[in-house]
Amino acid sequence: MSATKEALIRHVAPAYRWREDFPILKQQVYGKPLVYLDNAATSQKPASVIETERRYYEECNANVHRGVHALSQKATDAYEGARQKVARFLNARSAREIVFVRGCTEGVNLVAQSYGRTVLKPGDEVLITAMEHHSNIVPWQMVCQQTGAVLRVAPINDAGEMVFEEFERLVSERTRIVAAVHVSNALGTINPVERIVERAHAVGAKVLLDGAQAVPHVPVDVQALDCDFYAFSGHKIYGPTGIGALYGKEALLAAMPPYQGGGDMIKVVTFDKTLYNDLPYKFEAGTPHIAGAVGLGAALDYVMGIGMEAIAAHEHALLQYATEAVAGIKGLRLVGTARHKAGILSFVMDGVHPHDIGTILDHQGVAIRAGHHCAMPVMDRYGVAATARASFALYNTREDVDALVAGLHKVREVFG
């Protein structure tokens, strides 16, 4: 056995244990075992997360912060305990730097409207990359329209890598905000975020990183990155839907006005004026998704118990295996071949629409995503309307890849 194959087996083997923690993976689809490869859209949930949410509703469901009764205090402890877990997971300096949001999208919008709308002036520039998800494009278009700022876009090459020389050229004294995806959802590219932050800070610009696709796959240390803002969604990292977190440096968050008004983001309200609450509560108007936050805390417990380095090594080995396995399929072309990638394979097949690929694979029990992946400018860059996308998680195995490949050969048989 070759050293390469031994390494693949060593890194993939733990997945057979991890997948036992995910009840949904035990089911069948069209009489075949479920092979779930749509993890970039949303991941499945381990039993510990499901049980934690169930136990929250059974044992301590109440509103947080304002109650003096025992259930409210228990709920508050659980909610704030989850915030502490997010802070540890990202290595934030303080839990005051963690704002609970509905997901990465709301986190980006919060920064765009609360920070961007405050500091941007006509002629200022916001710089993004050509591989961004719509959630990291549209909010900046909106705030540029509101302020007169200009949106600039750093290009990507044929491999799906940001052209860093062009990025450097676009950064100037007019650049106020750089917003970049850490890992591309459409291509799998891992961006050189440390270099992005360093270059932006050299001209005094602030940096927001979209971490939705990064946090399930690679270790994230916001202090080491020195980014100003970092947003992610819970449902990508084995947690509930409708919950996520925004990290922001405390001094920046303290200076920013609230994003929304309502209960719990205030200290005092009169008809003349309102005194806003302390960090991070001034950004959390209304009753939050308490159970979601508690479930997210359980999900982070789960991945930290395994270790992000172990997860990254497993998924890297699986991506290598899958990349080699699909290379022999007639008429298949990968879209996104960056040197540094997370566990995403986007591809097209000659003469077959991605939706047809997805439909045939579904009847083989294999769940993938087909479409533009909320990254229409990426599709335009490659001259395609859509791609098929297989995306991996810690519970995927080589057998899952083999089932994908067998299904793709079936697609080729059907379409000739």
144: annotated active-site residue? no
- Taking the CA atoms of residue 82, residue 84, residue 90 and residue 91 in that order, the dihedral angle to the nearest 10 degrees is -170
Q: What is the pLDDT of residue 414?
A: 93
- Count of Cβ atoms closer than 10 Å to residue 12 Cβ: 20
pLDDT tens figures, 183-205:
999 999 999 999 999 999 999 99
Strand partners, 152: 127
Q: Helix (H) and strand (E) counts for the chain?
A: 16, 17
pLDDT tens figures, 359-393:
999 999 999 999 999 999 999 999 999 999 999 99
DSSP summary character for residue 281: G
Beta strands in 95-141 (DSSP E): 98-101, 125-129
Q: Is 61 exposed, middle or buried (0-12, 13-18, 19+ CB in 10 A)?
A: middle
At residue 33, the 3 state secondary structure works out as strand
Q: What is the pLDDT of residue 12?
A: 52
Cα dist. 130→18, 77, 166, 313, 376 in Å? 35, 42, 11, 28, 10
Q: Note if the pTM is more than 0.85.
A: yes
- Residues in CB range of 104: below 8 A, 6 or more apart: 135, 210, 211, 212, 231, 232, 233, 244
Tell me how far apart the alpha carbons of residues 192 and 266 are, in angstroms, rounded to a whole number: 39
Cα dist. 175→148, 151, 181, 346, 398 in Å? 13, 10, 17, 32, 45
Tell me how far apart the alpha carbons of residues 208 and 104 are, in angstroms, rounded to a whole number: 11
The H or E element that residue 12 is part of is helix 3-12
| Buried/exposed code over 271-289 (b: 16+ C-beta within 10 A; e: otherwise) | eeeeebbebbbbbbbeebb
Q: What is the pLDDT of residue 10?
A: 47
Helices assigned H by DSSP within 60-175: 70-90, 104-110, 117-119, 138-147, 164-170
Q: What is the pLDDT of residue 13?
A: 63
Which residues of the chain are under the pLDDT cut of 50?
1-2, 4-10
At residue 299, the 3 state secondary structure works out as helix
Q: What is the pLDDT of residue 182?
A: 98
Cα dist. 124→172, 174, 180, 404 in Å? 10, 5, 17, 47
Establish how many alpha carbons lie within 13 A of residue 181's alpha carbon, considering only the half-sphere containing its beta carbon: 30
Tell me how far apart the alpha carbons of residues 154 and 147 are, in angstroms, rounded to a whole number: 21
